[in-house]
């Protein structure tokens, strides 16, 4: 009986080490494959505003801008709804009915990305186009469309993790709060939310990480227009125009065209490296906060 826990521990350690090794090898491969573009373009690869591979111009900034804008729109729309749903399932609904509300939302996370993308093409794109008619849009394929679609996709992730964070707050604290005469709303505001704050932030960051890495759905509705960079970061006009993200560029046919040109191929792989750094950084931050919340509970 004593050997079984030790065996489980060693198997878990071996699995974790293997996963870490694969990740490091993958990261090293991306770094090695992208080195030619940094030797060719230097820092202008990350700061350049023009991507024109036939002219050997490779600037990531417009795609980085599109990625961040689409993710910001998704998080702005999804986070309040997800937090409200989590508060409802964790604080309001009786325990025996909780799963009846939570499970249908979690099932949305299992819908394939391509299905979301096709629904975006069939429905959301037309709705966004009609909504933006006063601004004379060229089409419904915009950064805004991609952001709204991503908001729907990350909603189950953020809601589930936020619900878990709220449920991790000890019930004894809620009972003590109610015993002191606080109402349900005051208990949620003064006890549950402060206690679950690290977990709620972790849920938001992990949802943002998924939004950054989504490819197929964004590719279908973002418009895939290169070099769309606003003159001012405060300008809202680019939101209602076609754009390009890191993932939509990686999912395009240009990836296949680049394979025969070492510099062009390195530029494409560099996009993967930039995306991986962003997603890993957000995932590590979210996991760290979530683990801290777990230890606190």
Assign 52 to helix, strand or coil: strand
In a domain, 49, yes or no: no
Q: Is the pLDDT of residue 132 over 80?
A: yes
In a domain, 38, yes or no: no
Average pLDDT, the chain: 85
In a domain, 61, yes or no: no
Find out whether 153 and 81 touch, Cβ atoms under 8 Å. Answer: no
More confident residue, 52 or 101: 52
Do the bridges between strand 51-52 and strand 57-58 make them parallel or antiparallel, or are there none, so unpaired? antiparallel
What does the pLDDT read at residue 37? Answer: 92
In a domain, 46, yes or no: no
Q: Which two tokens stand for residue 172?
A: 């004894």
In a domain, 94, yes or no: yes
Cα–Cα distances in Å, from 44 out to 41, 50, 59, 72, 170? 6, 10, 7, 25, 51
Residue whose entry in the numeric block shows the structure tokens 């189950």: 156
In a domain, 121, yes or no: yes
Q: What percent of the chain has pLDDT over 90?
A: 28
| CATH code at position 162 | 1.10.3720.10
> What is the domain count for the chain?
1
Find out whether 224 and 248 touch, Cβ atoms under 8 Å. Answer: yes
Find out whether 60 and 53 touch, Cβ atoms under 8 Å. Answer: no
Q: Is the pLDDT of residue 294 over 80?
A: no
Per-residue pLDDT of 139-162, as tens digits, reads 889 999 999 999 999 999 899 889
What does the pLDDT read at residue 3? Answer: 59
DSSP state string for 83-112: HHHHHIIIIIS-HHHHHHHHHHHHHGGGS-
In a domain, 153, yes or no: yes
The pTM of the full predicted model, rounded to 2 decimals, is 0.85
Q: Which two tokens stand for residue 233?
A: 């970061």
What does the pLDDT read at residue 146? Answer: 93
Per-residue pLDDT of 186-245, as tens digits, reads 888 888 888 888 888 888 888 888 888 888 899 999 988 888 888 777 777 778 888 899
Query: 70-84, 92-106, 236-250: which range is least confident on average?
Result: 92-106
In a domain, 40, yes or no: no
Q: Is the pLDDT of residue 2 over 80?
A: no
Find out whether 239 and 143 touch, Cβ atoms under 8 Å. Answer: yes
Domain that residue 189 falls in:
66-296
């Amino acid at each position: 009986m004593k050997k079984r826990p030790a065996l489980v521990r060693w198997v878990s350690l071996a699995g974790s080490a293997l996963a870490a090794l694969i990740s490091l090898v993958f990261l090293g491969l991306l770094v090695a494959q992208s080195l030619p573009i940094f030797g060719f373009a230097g820092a202008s690869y990350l700061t350049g505003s023009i991507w024109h591979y036939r002219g050997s111009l490779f600037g990531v900034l417009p795609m980085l801008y599109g990625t961040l804008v689409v993710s910001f729109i998704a998080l702005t729309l999804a986070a309040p709804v997800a937090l409200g749903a989590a508060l409802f399932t964790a604080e309001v609904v009786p325990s025996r009915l909780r799963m009846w509300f939570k499970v249908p939302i979690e099932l949305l996370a299992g819908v394939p990305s391509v299905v979301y993308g096709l629904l975006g093409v069939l429905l959301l794109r037309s709705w966004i186009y009609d909504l933006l008619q006063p601004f004379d849009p060229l089409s419904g394929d915009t950064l805004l469309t991609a952001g709204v679609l991503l908001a729907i996709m990350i909603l189950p992730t953020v809601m589930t993790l936020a619900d878990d964070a709220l449920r991790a707050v000890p019930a004894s604290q809620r009972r003590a709060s109610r015993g002191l005469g606080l109402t349900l709303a005051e208990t949620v505001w003064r006890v549950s939310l402060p206690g679950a704050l690290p977990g709620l932030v972790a849920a938001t960051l992990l949802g943002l990480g998924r939004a950054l890495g989504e490819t197929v759905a964004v590719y279908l509705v973002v418009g895939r227009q290169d070099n769309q960079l606003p003159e001012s970061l405060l300008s809202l006009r680019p939101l209602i125009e076609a754009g390009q993200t890191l993932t939509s560029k990686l999912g395009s046919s240009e990836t296949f065209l680049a394979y025969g040109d070492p510099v062009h191929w390195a530029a494409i792989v560099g996009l993967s490296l930039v995306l991986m750094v962003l997603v890993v950084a957000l995932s590590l931050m979210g996991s760290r906060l979530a683990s801290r919340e777990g230890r606190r509970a």
